[in-house]
């Protein structure tokens, strides 16, 4: 088959379809809601050079910079020429792979007509890898669970049972985790079958030419966009609020340089590693640094290795954005999720239409519940709830929408089947959205209560991690282009303010409540269409008082008072 | 169904199609759809058929109906003013959605507006737990207060979706009782009836959609049933469901969400039926009517199905960009491309076609009904593919001058082209639009178009099928007899089938086979009872199996004996199916039965289609200038009448074959053969020429 512009496009679509099918295989054979509902995973296909050609449409931004590196790291230990059909390579090394122990990467070589033509990789955020799990208290990696070095889980089709045995012996819910691990094998099997079928149908010998075309076109596309931008360096920095437990404060500094057709993001000056478990590995920093650039400049090209080549990430070793082993990394999203926001601070100065208001739920919320039933069985449930999306130059932010990661909520009806809790509330928070010509999306309030159940010890271990953006606004959810900040949130246990990011024991009847902020607004709130403000008031999204205070819009008896609005807006 | 004539009625956006099947004969009719009152077109068509076959309505053994009414009502937001009652504290579930972005890279991502605005979403205090136990009783005062607010807001329909109502529906039932007292005129949809499964967002969304279209669907079906009775038809009206099954109109009125994809399912049924007649193991069903085109992959006589259907997607191809409707539907691709699709020139000077359609009002310019915008049908007429004096067999005269004037004014002049080239552009662009979407759809299913025959239905289908097949990479096109009204025939060919299932959670190890046998028997009795009383059904039993701990299950047929060997039979079937789908993964978790299923189906007598006559090949009835894409000019092209073609006759293109309800166009070098079944089988000349 001859490759021309049309056939490259068709086969490229086909590769995306193949990894999407792999993701469906993963979801269908998975055992836990964290895969089936939460979708914190990535399936990808590579050519024989280990260049990533496509990843699943359903995935989260955290994997963008990670996936290509994992495959390269695997091949450093097991060179491509030594691999044989039926090999499966595994690791959860945070530095070689995806930044914390709870993610397991599993890859296989793909052979077609006895020739190595590519690789398939599946990474899943698992439910349990032993250790202290969802707490910022872990001081090093060893507290955080079991580490699986880069090893072969299967060698030429033969299972290395020792690996399963070690995992089984070290975690709380082995049937579920090993079930999900097998689902990763399914994903890779489906990907392998799809790719070899494609090669057989098209008569292509391998992916060499196609892979080179895809990555080169993608690289050219982004470089052409960058070439049109103004040149220069723009800087931004953010001082994070004191971390739970240790009180450490991290400063993130970024210098964004646009030169010719290359973007460089340099984190020089960023704080060093911390004791709290929030340290980022370089791969994780890559993901969330490249993401806002791709989003702003070249969102339509399906992501692949070529998309990363025009972006250089510099992060001094030993900083919180390029930590060294054995730093503790569980809650690395506390830092990595903020990177797009810090980069937007620089980007806004040169491309104000390419940035979003802050996301009220960023860094992402994480909610863990675990314990044991009196009969000895363990339960473990995780969940995530999102804050409001930021306003943009075109539209209001959506309510409760995940950013910059992209994981779905786990239905309450599913979580309530996994753990002995009952949700009491999950509802929008009025006036939480940052005002703007395009306001932010609304944040939410979530409350659950522990049920009177047959629990060993009579308690549930619960950790809820928030983002440190309090209602008082000490770490605001910033607006852009003149828009206002979203209202932050907080955590309360039985009505008392409580620290987030650590475990506490909750007993029957205890209530845990938390709020997630609204998104930052975009543009001058006084430029907002009064009719849009009225619609918000009618829906109870904005109060009458806030309509006047934030937007200069007077609503009386459910109707607009246009004359009074004009006066309030000073015109 | 007992003997007697059977009528299939399929209402599309532009035409309403009819097929009347009776021992040894098939009659067809096609009339313009009447969107303001769709039943009017139905009665008009029945009158036309009565003229040819007097008294058929009174003698009819069955009327089966498909319609796009429900989807259109949602797309155009013409449903009821709908309120939602939720568990207090959870009224925002339908607007929160799943809190995830369906497109990771779109910073300007959009979602459809919820069908119920926030001020009409009210909470009532109550709480049921996952195991069905009641944690907090229903506060009936809250329900009456909600009813009062709905009354003030002139709400016509109420959706009720409480947490875990699938596990214990008592509170939803009590709310329904109170609402019937307080709001006797409002339509009600209860989540435990509409979609009794966990996951609150998907269940709420489905229930809200059901409530939103209930009044509209019921009123329409009442008018239709009344009119049918007046015309002498006394038996029940059957509806095609979104998954190709059939049910009585009363079930469709109770759960209108079940017919959301009824129209498209009919076309798929037709292709399945015809694929079976021709022994095609895999095919691509292609239906192109006035407003939309649909593609659906059919393998081994079964179309792909999905339970992840969404209505009102912001982006047609992006899952997650619409509102979930968790009912089983055929997994088909719908494209805004039909005979009525409107052509225009955009700001960049490029020709665009669709997705806006002229529908039946104002209709294509050439219909002379007041339409002035050029459409695909106008282009097909201007290119000489359609015969202005033989559209619907000459019942509807087409006005070529109007078509050309519309193309000249709205496309040719702004684009700086002559009228013929503009028309050729419209024709080619609509084909490419369908092909581009089709390529993604077929690739998404892991198939190669080259291995798929395109089986064509719909009035505009045969005009565009060869051009589409060429762009898509299909090598063979099948045009069944009566292709223009074939989806109505699909309604009649589809077996009347009901499935009954029961969730169970039982390990295969130590399975109580006698209990399983008993449950299957009970399910079979329930399913058979839904068939007409004189049915002689086929019963199919199966079990959904999975590894303990998984959600998703594989359906494994139960073919062998219901004895002690059943667990082994099922385990063997499951392990083999699992490995075929997912490869070998050494799972050692116990296998369990998630659900038992029984389907009872009443096969329908195969419609006797007009057989091609034997004997000498039919000669062209005339020639006319028709546009040839390669040569980029009009060339004299032979025109055949389909009814004059002889069995096994072979025609080498270019050629045009006219019949009453549609026109088949083939290009230079394409070879058309008349098959025993009456189908035209076209083998394309070369795979990569465009047309």
Is B100 in contact with A451 (Cβ distance < 8 A)?
Answer: no
Sort residue A280 into left (φ over 0), alpha (ψ -120 to 50) or beta.
Answer: beta
Report the pLDDT value the prediction gives residue A2, as an integer from 0 to 100: 67
- Shared domain for A472 and A571, answered yes or no, is no
* Parts of chain B belonging to CATH 3.30.420.40: 6-74+218-258
Question: Would you call B196 an interface residue with chain A, using a CB distance cutoff of 8 Å?
Answer: no
Average pLDDT over residues B271-282: 89
Is B95 in contact with A428 (Cβ distance < 8 A)?
Answer: yes
**Is the CB of residue B290 less than 8 Å from the CB of residue B459?**
yes
Quickly list DSSP for B465-533: HHHHHHHHT--EEEE-TTGGGHHHHHHHHSPEEEEEEEEEEEESTT--HHHHHHHHHHHHHHHHHTS-T
CA-based nearest residue to B490, from B300, B277, B280, B266: B266
What's the pLDDT tens digit per position in B540-579? 999 999 999 898 899 899 987 889 999 999 999 999 999 9
pLDDT band of B607, cuts 50, 70, 90: confident
Task: Domain count for chain A, please give it.
Answer: 3
Question: Would you call B634 an interface residue with chain A, using a CB distance cutoff of 8 Å?
Answer: no
**Is the CB of residue A441 less than 8 Å from the CB of residue A542?**
no
Report the pLDDT value the prediction gives residue B690, as an integer from 0 to 100: 42
- Shared domain for A524 and A541, answered yes or no, is no
Report the pLDDT value the prediction gives residue A6, as an integer from 0 to 100: 62
Longest pairwise C-alpha distance within chain A:
79
Choose among B91, B110, B130: nearest Cβ to A416. Answer: B130
* Nearest chain B CA: its distance from A285 CA (Å): 18
CA-based nearest residue to B253, from B227, B214, B225, B226: B214
Question: Would you call B104 an interface residue with chain A, using a CB distance cutoff of 8 Å?
Answer: yes
pLDDT band of B446, cuts 50, 70, 90: low
- Shared domain for A398 and A494, answered yes or no, is yes
pTM (two decimals): 0.91
Sort residue B393 into left (φ over 0), alpha (ψ -120 to 50) or beta.
Answer: left
Contacting residues for B129 by C-beta, under 8 A, at least 6 apart = A416, A422, A451, B135, B164, B167
Report the pLDDT value the prediction gives residue B686, as an integer from 0 to 100: 67
pLDDT surpassing 60 at residue B691? no
Report the pLDDT value the prediction gives residue B646, as an integer from 0 to 100: 95
Angstrom distance (rounded) from CA A109 to CA A154: 12
Is B552 in contact with A27 (Cβ distance < 8 A)?
Answer: yes
Choose among A21, A179, A416: nearest Cβ to B446. Answer: A21
Choose among B198, B443, B583: nearest Cβ to A13. Answer: B443
> Among all residues of chain A, which has the CA nearest to that of B94?
A427
Contacting residues for A470 by C-beta, under 8 A, at least 6 apart = A241, A488, A489, A490
Residue B564 burial (10 A CB sphere; 0-12, 13-18, 19+)? exposed
Choose among B105, B202, B446: nearest Cβ to A17. Answer: B446
- Shared domain for A537 and A478, answered yes or no, is no
**Chain A contacts in chain B segment 405-464 (CB below 8 A):** 439-440, 443-444, 446, 448, 450
Is A294 in contact with B105 (Cβ distance < 8 A)?
Answer: yes
* Nearest chain A CA: its distance from B409 CA (Å): 33
Choose among A28, A408, A539: nearest Cβ to B99. Answer: A408
Identify the H or E element spanning A236.
strand A232-239
Residue pointed to by tokens 């199916």: B577
> Among all residues of chain B, which has the CA nearest to that of A422?
B129
H-only helix segments in A137-207 = 161-170, 174-202
* Phi, psi (rounded to 5 degrees) for B414: -60, -30
CA A410: distance to chain centroid?
A: 15
Report the pLDDT value the prediction gives residue A442, as an integer from 0 to 100: 98
Q: Which of B1-15, B67-81, B375-389, B597-611 has the highest mean pLDDT?
A: B375-389
Domain presence at residue A350: no
Question: Would you call B153 an interface residue with chain A, using a CB distance cutoff of 8 Å?
Answer: no
- Shared domain for A466 and A560, answered yes or no, is no
Angstrom distance (rounded) from CA B620 to CA A305: 58
Mutate to test the interface with A, among B89, B101, B103, B307 (most CBs of A within 10 A): B101
Question: Would you call B308 an interface residue with chain A, using a CB distance cutoff of 8 Å?
Answer: no
What does the DSSP 8-state code read for residue B550? Answer: B
- Shared domain for A422 and A560, answered yes or no, is no
Question: Would you call B582 an interface residue with chain A, using a CB distance cutoff of 8 Å?
Answer: yes
> Among all residues of chain B, which has the CA nearest to that of A180?
B550
Q: Which residues of A touch B586 (CB under 8 A)?
A: 159, 182
Q: Name B30's bridge partners.
A: B17
Question: Would you call B550 an interface residue with chain A, using a CB distance cutoff of 8 Å?
Answer: yes
- Shared domain for A94 and A154, answered yes or no, is yes
Quickly list DSSP for A293-353: HHHHH-TTSPP-GGGGTTEEEE--TTBTTS--TT---TTTHHHHTTHHHHHHHHHTTT-GG
Measured in Å, how far apart are chain B's first and last C-alpha atoms?
A: 45
**Pair of tokens at residue A265:** 């993001």
Domain presence at residue A487: yes
CA A384: distance to chain centroid?
A: 11
Q: Which residues of A touch B584 (CB under 8 A)?
A: 157, 189
Is B583 in contact with A303 (Cβ distance < 8 A)?
Answer: no
- Shared domain for A57 and A152, answered yes or no, is yes
What's the pLDDT tens digit per position in B299-347? 888 888 887 899 888 887 688 999 999 988 998 888 888 999 999 988 7
Domain end point (choices A218, A234, A258): A218
Task: Quote the domain boundaries for residue A419.
Answer: 356-528
Is A413 in contact with B129 (Cβ distance < 8 A)?
Answer: no
Is A20 in contact with B110 (Cβ distance < 8 A)?
Answer: no
Q: Which residues of A touch B201 (CB under 8 A)?
A: 411
Angstrom distance (rounded) from CA B95 to CA A401: 10
Q: Which residues of A touch B582 (CB under 8 A)?
A: 25, 28-29, 186, 189-190
- Shared domain for A405 and A486, answered yes or no, is yes
Is A540 in contact with B119 (Cβ distance < 8 A)?
Answer: yes
SS3 of B324-373: EECCCEECCEEECCCCCEEEEECCCCCEEEEEEECCCCCCCHHHCCCCCC
Q: Which residues of A touch B594 (CB under 8 A)?
A: none
Q: Which residues of B touch A444 (CB under 8 A)?
A: 92, 96
B6-74+218-258 — its CATH code? 3.30.420.40
Q: Which residues of A touch B105 (CB under 8 A)?
A: 294-295, 299-300, 303
For residue A469, CA distances in Å to A241, A341, A396, A447, B650 come to 8, 14, 21, 18, 76
**Pair of tokens at residue B307:** 């339970």
* Nearest chain A CA: its distance from B404 CA (Å): 33
Question: Would you call B129 an interface residue with chain A, using a CB distance cutoff of 8 Å?
Answer: yes
- Shared domain for A472 and A536, answered yes or no, is no
Number of residues in chain B: 691
Average pLDDT over residues B499-512: 89
> Among all residues of chain A, which has the CA nearest to that of B163?
A413
Q: Which residues of B touch A416 (CB under 8 A)?
A: 129-130, 164
Report the pLDDT value the prediction gives residue B444, as an integer from 0 to 100: 67
Question: Would you call B585 an interface residue with chain A, using a CB distance cutoff of 8 Å?
Answer: yes
The tens-digit pLDDT sequence of chain A (571 residues) is: 567 766 787 788 889 989 998 999 999 999 999 899 999 999 999 999 999 999 999 999 999 999 999 999 999 999 999 999 999 999 999 999 999 999 999 999 999 999 999 999 999 999 999 999 999 999 999 999 999 999 999 999 999 999 999 999 999 999 999 999 999 999 999 999 999 988 987 889 999 999 999 999 999 999 999 999 999 999 999 999 999 989 999 999 999 999 999 999 999 999 999 999 999 999 999 999 999 999 999 998 999 999 999 999 999 999 999 999 999 999 999 999 999 999 999 999 999 999 999 999 999 999 999 999 999 999 999 999 999 999 999 999 999 999 999 999 999 999 999 999 999 999 999 999 999 999 999 999 999 999 999 999 999 999 999 999 998 888 999 999 999 999 999 999 999 999 999 999 999 999 999 999 999 999 999 999 999 999 999 999 999 999 999 999 999 999 999 999 999 998 7
Angstrom distance (rounded) from CA B420 to CA B399: 16
* Other Cβ atoms within 10 Å of B396 Cβ, number: 17
Angstrom distance (rounded) from CA B561 to CA B163: 41
**Is the CB of residue A240 less than 8 Å from the CB of residue A268?**
no
Angstrom distance (rounded) from CA A89 to CA A108: 6
* Nearest chain B CA: its distance from A14 CA (Å): 5
- Shared domain for A448 and A547, answered yes or no, is no
Domain presence at residue A268: no
Average pLDDT over residues B347-362: 82
* Other Cβ atoms within 10 Å of A502 Cβ, number: 17
> Among all residues of chain A, which has the CA nearest to that of B579?
A186
Choose among B443, B549, B589: nearest Cβ to A17. Answer: B443
What does the DSSP 8-state code read for residue A389? Answer: P
> Among all residues of chain B, which has the CA nearest to that of A384?
B99
Could you give the 3-state DSSP secondary structure of residue A556?
strand
Angstrom distance (rounded) from CA B114 to CA B96: 10
Q: Which residues of B touch A157 (CB under 8 A)?
A: 584
Domain end point (choices A171, A193, A218): A218
> Among all residues of chain A, which has the CA nearest to that of B91?
A427
Quickly list DSSP for B54-97: TTHHHH-SEEEEEE-HHHHHHHTT-S--EEEEEETT-TTHHHHT
- Shared domain for A557 and A420, answered yes or no, is no
Is B581 in contact with A25 (Cβ distance < 8 A)?
Answer: yes
> Among all residues of chain B, which has the CA nearest to that of A297?
B105
* Other Cβ atoms within 10 Å of A413 Cβ, number: 21
HSE-CB of A184 using CA atoms within 13 angstroms: 30
Question: Would you call B587 an interface residue with chain A, using a CB distance cutoff of 8 Å?
Answer: yes
Angstrom distance (rounded) from CA B686 to CA A222: 37
For residue A253, CA distances in Å to A244, A268, A433, B180 come to 21, 7, 27, 63
Report the pLDDT value the prediction gives residue B508, as an integer from 0 to 100: 95
Choose among B90, B107, B581: nearest Cβ to A392. Answer: B107
* Nearest chain B CA: its distance from A193 CA (Å): 9
CB pairs under 8 A between A and B: 170
Contacting residues for A76 by C-beta, under 8 A, at least 6 apart = none
SS3 of A467-490: CCCECCCCCCECCECCCCCECCEE
pLDDT band of B2, cuts 50, 70, 90: low
Domain presence at residue A272: no
Q: Which residues of B touch A406 (CB under 8 A)?
A: 100-101, 104
Is A422 in contact with B164 (Cβ distance < 8 A)?
Answer: no
Choose among B92, B581, B589: nearest Cβ to A179. Answer: B589
CA-based nearest residue to B18, from B238, B496, B26, B10: B10
């Amino acid at each position: 088959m001859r490759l021309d512009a049309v056939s490259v496009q068709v086969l490229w679509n086909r590769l995306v379809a193949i990894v999407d099918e792999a993701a469906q295989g993963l979801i269908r054979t998975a055992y836990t809601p964290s895969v089936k509902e939460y979708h914190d995973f990535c399936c990808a296909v590579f050519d024989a050079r280990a260049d990533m050609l496509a990843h699943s449409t359903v995935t989260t931004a955290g994997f963008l910079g990670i996936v290509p590196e994992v495959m390269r790291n695997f091949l450093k230990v097991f060179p491509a020429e030594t691999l044989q059909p039926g090999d499966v390579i595994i690791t959860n090394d945070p530095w070689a792979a995806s930044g914390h122990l709870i993610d397991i990467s599993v890859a296989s070589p793909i052979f077609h007509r006895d020739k190595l033509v590519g690789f398939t990789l599946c990474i899943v955020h698992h439910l349990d890898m032993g250790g202290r799990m969802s707490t910022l208290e872990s001081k090093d990696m060893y507290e955080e669970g079991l580490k699986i070095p880069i090893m072969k889980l299967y060698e030429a089709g033969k299972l290395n049972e020792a690996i399963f045995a070690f995992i089984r012996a070290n975690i709380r819910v082995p049937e579920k985790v090993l079930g999900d691990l097998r689902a990763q094998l399914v994903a890779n099997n489906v990907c392998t079958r799809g790719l070899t079928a494609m090669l057989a149908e098209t008569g292509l010998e391998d992916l060499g030419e196609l892979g080179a075309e895809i990555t080169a076109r993608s690289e050219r596309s982004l470089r052409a966009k960058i070439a049109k931008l103004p040149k220069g360096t723009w800087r931004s920095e953010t001082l994070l609020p004191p971390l739970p437990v240790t009180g450490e404060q991290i400063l993130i500094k970024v210098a964004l340089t646009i030169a010719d057709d290359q973007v460089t993001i340099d984190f020089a000056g960023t704080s060093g590693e911390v004791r709290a478990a929030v340290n980022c590995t370089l791969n994780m920093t890559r993901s969330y640094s490249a993401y806002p650039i791709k989003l702003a400049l070249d969102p339509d090209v399906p992501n692949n290795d070529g998309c990363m080549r025009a972006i250089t990430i510099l992060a001094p070793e030993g900083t919180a954005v390029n930590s060294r082993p054995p730093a503790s990394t569980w809650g690395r999203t506390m830092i990595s999720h903020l990177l797009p926001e810090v980069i937007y601070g620089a980007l806004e100065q040169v491309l104000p239409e390419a940035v979003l208001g802050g996301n009220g739920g960023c860094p992402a919320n994480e909610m863990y519940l675990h314990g044991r039933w009196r009969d000895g069985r363990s339960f473990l449930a995780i969940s995530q709830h999102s804050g409001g999306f930021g306003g943009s130059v075109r539209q209001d932010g959506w309510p409760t929408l995940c950013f910059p990661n992209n994981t779905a909520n786990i239905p309450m009806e599913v979580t309530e089947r996994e753990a002995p809790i009952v949700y009491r509330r999950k509802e929008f928070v009025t006036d939480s959205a940052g005002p703007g010509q395009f306001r932010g999306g609304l944040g939410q309030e979530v409350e659950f209560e522990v049920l009177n159940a047959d629990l060993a010890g009579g308690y549930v271990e619960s950790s809820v991690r928030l983002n440190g953006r309090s209602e008082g606004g000490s770490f605001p959810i910033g607006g852009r282009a003149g828009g206002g900040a979203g209202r932050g949130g907080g955590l309360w246990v039985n009505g008392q303010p409580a620290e987030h990011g650590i475990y506490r024991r909750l007993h029957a009847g205890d209530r845990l409540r938390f709020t997630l902020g609204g998104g930052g607004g975009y543009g001058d709130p006084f430029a907002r269409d009064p009719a849009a403000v009225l619609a918000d008031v009618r829906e109870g999204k904005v109060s009458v008082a806030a309509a006047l205070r934030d937007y200069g819009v007077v609503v009386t008896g459910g109707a607009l008072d246009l004359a009074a609005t004009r006066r309030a807006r000073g015109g | 169904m007992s003997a007697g004539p059977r009528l299939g009625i399929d209402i599309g956006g532009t035409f309403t199609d009819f097929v009347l099947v009776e021992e040894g004969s098939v009659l067809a009719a096609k009339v313009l759809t009447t969107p303001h009152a769709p039943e009017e077109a139905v009665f008009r068509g029945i009158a036309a058929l009565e003229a040819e076959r007097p008294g058929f309505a009174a003698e009819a053994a069955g009327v089966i109906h498909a319609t796009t009414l429900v989807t259109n009502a949602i797309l155009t937001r013409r449903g009821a003013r709908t309120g939602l009652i939720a568990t207090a504290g959870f009224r925002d579930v339908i607007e929160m959605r799943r809190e995830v972005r369906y497109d990771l890279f779109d910073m300007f991502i959009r979602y459809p507006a919820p069908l119920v605005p926030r001020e009409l979403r009210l909470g009532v205090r109550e709480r049921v737990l996952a195991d069905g136990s009641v944690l907090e009783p229903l506060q009936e005062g809250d329900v009456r207060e909600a009813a009062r607010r709905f009354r003030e807001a002139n709400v016509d329909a109420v959706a009720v979706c409480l947490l875990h109502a699938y596990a214990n529906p008592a509170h939803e039932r009590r709310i329904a009782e109170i609402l019937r007292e307080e709001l006797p005129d409002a339509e009600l949809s209860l989540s435990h009836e509409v979609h009794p499964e966990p996951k609150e967002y998907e269940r709420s969304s489905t229930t809200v959609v059901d409530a939103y279209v209930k009044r509209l669907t019921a009123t329409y079906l009442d008018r239709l049933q009344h009119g049918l009775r007046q015309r002498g038809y006394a038996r029940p009206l059957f509806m095609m469901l979104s998954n190709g099954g059939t049910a009585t109109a009363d079930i469709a009125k109770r759960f209108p969400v079940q017919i959301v994809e009824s129209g498209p399912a009919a076309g798929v049924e037709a292709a399945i039926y015809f694929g079976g007649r021709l022994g095609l193991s895999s095919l691509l069903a292609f239906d192109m009517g006035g407003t939309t085109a649909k593609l659906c992959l059919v393998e081994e006589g079964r179309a792909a199905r999905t339970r992840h259907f969404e209505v009102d997607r912001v982006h047609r191809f992006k899952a997650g960009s619409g509102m979930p409707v968790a009912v089983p539907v055929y997994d088909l691709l719908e494209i805004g491309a039909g005979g009525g699709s409107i052509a225009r020139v955009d700001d960049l000077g490029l020709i665009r076609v669709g997705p806006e359609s002229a529908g039946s009002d104002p209709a294509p310019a050439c219909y002379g009904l007041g339409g002035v915008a050029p459409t695909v049908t106008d282009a097909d007429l201007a290119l000489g593919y359609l015969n202005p004096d033989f559209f619907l067999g000459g019942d509807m005269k087409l006005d070529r001058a109007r078509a050309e004037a519309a193309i000249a004014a709205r496309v040719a002049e702004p684009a700086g082209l002559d009228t013929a080239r503009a028309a050729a552009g419209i024709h080619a662009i609509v084909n490419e639009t369908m092909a581009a979407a089709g390529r993604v759809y077929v690739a998404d299913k892991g198939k190669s178009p080259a291995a798929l025959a395109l089986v064509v239905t719909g009035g505009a289908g045969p005009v565009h099928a060869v051009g589409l097949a060429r762009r898509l990479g299909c090598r063979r096109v099948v045009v069944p007899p009566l292709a223009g009204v074939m989806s109505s025939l699909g309604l009649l060919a589809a077996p009347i089938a009901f499935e009954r299932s029961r969730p169970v959670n039982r390990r295969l190890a130590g399975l109580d086979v006698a209990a399983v046998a008993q449950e299957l028997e009970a399910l079979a009795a329930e399913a058979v009872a839904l068939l007409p009383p004189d049915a002689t059904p086929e019963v199919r039993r199966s079990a959904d199996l999975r590894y303990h701990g998984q959600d998703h299950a594989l359906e494994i047929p139960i073919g062998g004996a219901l004895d002690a060997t059943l667990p082994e039979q099922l385990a063997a079937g499951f392990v083999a199916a699992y490995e075929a789908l997912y490869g070998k993964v050494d799972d050692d978790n116990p296998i369990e039965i998630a659900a038992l299923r029984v389907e009872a189906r009443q096969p329908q007598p195969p419609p006797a289609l007009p057989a091609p006559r034997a004997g000498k090949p039919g000669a062209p009835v005339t020639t006319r200038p028709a546009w040839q894409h390669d040569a980029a000019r009009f060339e004299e092209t032979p025109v055949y009448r389909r009814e004059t073609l002889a069995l096994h006759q072979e025609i080498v293109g270019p050629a045009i074959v006219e019949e009453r309800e549609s026109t088949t166009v083939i290009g230079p070098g394409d070879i058309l053969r008349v098959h025993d079944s009456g189908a035209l089988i076209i083998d394309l000349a070369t795979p990569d020429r465009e047309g």
